A and B are shown apart, each in its own frame.
Chain A
Amino acid sequence: MRNKIAQARYERKETRDAYLFLLPLLALVIVFVLFPVLATSLNSLFRDVTYLARKFVGLSNYASLAADFDFQRAARFTCLFTAAAVFFEAVLGLVFALLLNESFRGRGLLRTVVLIPWAIPTIVSAKIWKLIFDYTYGVLNFIVLALGLSSEKINWLGSSISAFWSLVAAEVWKTTPFMVLILLAGLQAIPREVYQQAQIDGARMGRRLWRITLPLVWPVLTIALIFRTIDSLRIFDLVYVLTGGGPGGSTKTLSMLGFEYYSNDSFGRGSAVSVITFLLVFAVTIAYIKLGRFERSLKK
């Protein structure tokens, strides 16, 4: 008996030390992420509004959301916005990464410059873009008039379609640098000899891009897409400042909807929206991992 205890202590010494080293990290994550998430999930099953008694209502928060036009619109907008933004980021990011992977004079400077949008706080960039799209003072309207593309100023943030694309533009500007950096790392990991061999084998530029570069950079692209999609699905700050969800609530995201419910002291419904948001995020992540077929590389 005594022996068993001694043996267990012998085995556990390193384990105990390791857990001691991990304790602050785990405590932080569990108390301030896992616990609130669980509480939110639980809360989504309650009628929780400040002016009424808290009451268990099962899934009825979800049921009423499903039937709610505002919610449907926010869900659709969030998904479409994410798809558009991530697509253009990937294309533009790939173009710039390919460019910065070439050697030419001034490349170092460009690599620095490309980081600037990343370094600017999202709220600031939202304000900048708001001014760019501004009806009265905006530089975009100035350009449109100067080039004669339109005879009068356009209210960019005034229609739901142009507001959508304005948001996409601002998001793409802010987050393309991240894409560029990740893809550049992927490109630089491709050995030079592969290109030289392909050149000797007579593959011209376009073919080298299609047959060599893209397939080899694909795993890295998948990872970058996951990160960007997760981030984009939970977008709040950019939209909150740039359009405020307007016009007429047409650019409200799921996070904004949740925030609105919270602000109106409707915590049960807000929680339900939050739960749906993270379920969406997890579903999309799993889909990427399955499609990207890189379970193996993740496990390593």
Chain B
Amino acid sequence: MACSVELKNVDKSFFTLRGRVDVMRGISLHIEPRELFVLLGPSGCGKSTLLNMIAGLEKPTAGSITIGDAVVADPGRGVFIDPFRRNVAMVFQSYALYPHMTVRANIAFPLTNLKPRPPAGDIGRKVREAARLLRIEELLDRKPAELSGGQRQRVAIGRAVVREPKVFLMDEPLSNLDAQLRTEMRAQLKELQRRLGITTVYVTHDQMEAMTLGDRIAVLNEGVIQQLGTPAGVYAHPSNVFVARFVGSPPMNLFEGAVKRDENTRVVLRTADGDILLPERLGADLVAQGKERCILGIRPEHIEPVAAGQGNFDSRISVVENVGSEYLASLFLKSGHIVVRAQHEPQPGPAGLRFASDRLHVFDAGARSSVE
């Protein structure tokens, strides 16, 4: 019984003692049944608030939210379904296990709230099933305080799956785990979600997690959706400077400057650190469009260090780091820190940088959104 989730023009404001705080504007999303949808954004951008609105823990100020074919919140029509009537399940960053209950009672808790309450035999069977699924059968009689972080995490997920909810909501469920466990749990979560086929909204601030987990991702910043698409699509075609910098690690390199012709009448981007030679096609396009200033973006792996004068741009490599399978070269420019990812060890000192001409991104200098 997989359900879609739909948000239409959702606004959210908080009314505090200090006045009104608008944290979310015009959010529209359609999440398909069975989809694993990731909300990605920096801290404080409103991810949790959005998730809480789907769960019913917060009320939207305007707009509507639909789960399956039931409207669960629509201030315009005075509709609001309480969280305990929505049949969604949520996993919290803090796990929120009930400290006074055993693991068994924790997992059984959502079932005991059903009306009518299922017979004890059914509850027991479902709890055991969930425990087997998550391999926590031997922990059932412990209290949460006696579990490790990873085990708590599993119990929280067990509590979420036991009721076969319409939607899973996960609020940074892995961020309290250490790096290794996180990678492992990430893969397991994805596998579990596939197997159960339950629509899932997953919140994270970790772009790596978003890229690896999501069927689709929405990048959120300051309460507005910046871009919506598949992880590969968002990575390849960031729609603005924010997304370009936020998705990908190390982040995309950006150069801001004026579109000019140099003494050889080639089109260049004149930056504070010198001229960057633009590929012919791109240069011609920009001139044709009459762009005077723009931001040029290129990912670290799309820059090749070459001899000075051989590339699009001449500069100095300051530091080279070996990160195992590859090298990261850093350049400290007036306009910021530039990183180059290389397979072969570059030498510090004067160097040319050659940009892969089909991988350049151009953003409007004013609107900071993608051109083309």
Residues of A within 8 A of B (CB): 3, 5-11, 13-14
- 22 pairs, A vs B, C-beta closer than 8 Å: A3-B76, A3-B77, A3-B78, A5-B78, A6-B76, A6-B77, A6-B78, A6-B79, A7-B75, A7-B76, A7-B78, A8-B78, A9-B78, A10-B59, A10-B75, A10-B78, A10-B79, A10-B80, A11-B59, A11-B75, A13-B80, A14-B59
Residues of chain A contacted by B78 (CB below 8 angstroms): 3, 5-10
**Which A residues are CB-close (under 8 A) to B59?**
10-11, 14
From A10, which residue of chain B is reached at the shortest CB distance? Answer: B78
* C-alpha spacing A287/B156, complex, angstroms: 51
CA distance A10 to B80 in the complex (A): 6
Query: A187 → chain B, closest Cβ, in Å?
Result: 29
Please name all residues of chain B whose beta carbon is closer than 8 Å to the beta carbon of A6 when the two chains form the complex. 76-79
Could you say which residues of chain A place their CB within 8 Å of the CB of B80? 10, 13
Chain B interface residues (CB < 8 Å from chain A) = 59, 75-80
Q: List 6 tightest A-B contacts by C-beta distance, closest first.
A: A6-B78, A10-B78, A9-B78, A10-B75, A10-B80, A7-B75
Question: How many A-B contacts at CB < 8 Å in the complex?
Answer: 22
Contacts of B77 in A (CB 8 A): 3, 6
B61 to A, closest residue via Cβ: A11
> Once the chains are docked, how many angstroms separate the CA of A87 from the CA of B79?
60
A202 to B173, CA, bound (A): 49
Considering the complex, give the chain A residue whose CB is closest to the CB of B82: A13
A14, B80: Cα distance in complex, Å? 11
B75 / chain A contacts, CB cutoff of 8 Å: 7, 10-11
Candidate in A9, A10, A11, A13 with the most chain B CB atoms within 10 angstroms: A10
A89–B232 Cα distance when bound, in Å, is 72
Q: Which of B76, B77, B78, B79 has the most CB of A within 10 A?
A: B78
- Docked CA distance A113–B370 (Å): 75
| B residues in contact with A9, CB < 8 Å | 78
**Chain B positions within 8 Å of A13 at CB level:** 80
In the complex, the chain B residue whose C-beta lies closest to that of A4 is B78
- A233 CA to B73 CA, complexed, in Å: 54
What is the CA–CA distance of A142 and B80 in the complex, to the nearest angstrom? Answer: 77
Residue of A nearest to B73 (CB): A10
Closest to A8 in B: B78
Min CB gap A18→B, angstroms = 14
C-alpha gap A5/B76 in the complex (Å) = 10
Distance between Cα atoms of A5 and B77 in the complex (Å) = 9
The smallest C-beta distance from B84 to any residue of chain A, in angstroms, reads 13
| Cα A3 to Cα B59 with chains together (Å) | 17
- Complex: how many Å from CA A278 to CA B168? 57
* Distance between B329 CB and nearest chain A CB, rounded to angstroms: 44
List 7 extra interface pairs beyond A7-B75, A7-B78, A11-B59, CB under 8 A.
A3-B77, A5-B78, A6-B77, A7-B76, A10-B75, A10-B80, A14-B59
Residues of B within 8 A of A14 (CB): 59
**Residue among B59, B75, B76 facing the most chain A CB atoms (10 A cut-off):** B75
Docked Cα-Cα span, A9 to B80, in Å, equals 10
| CB-nearest residue of chain B to A13 | B80
Chain A, residue nearest B60 (CB)? A10
CA distance A8 to B75 in the complex (A): 9
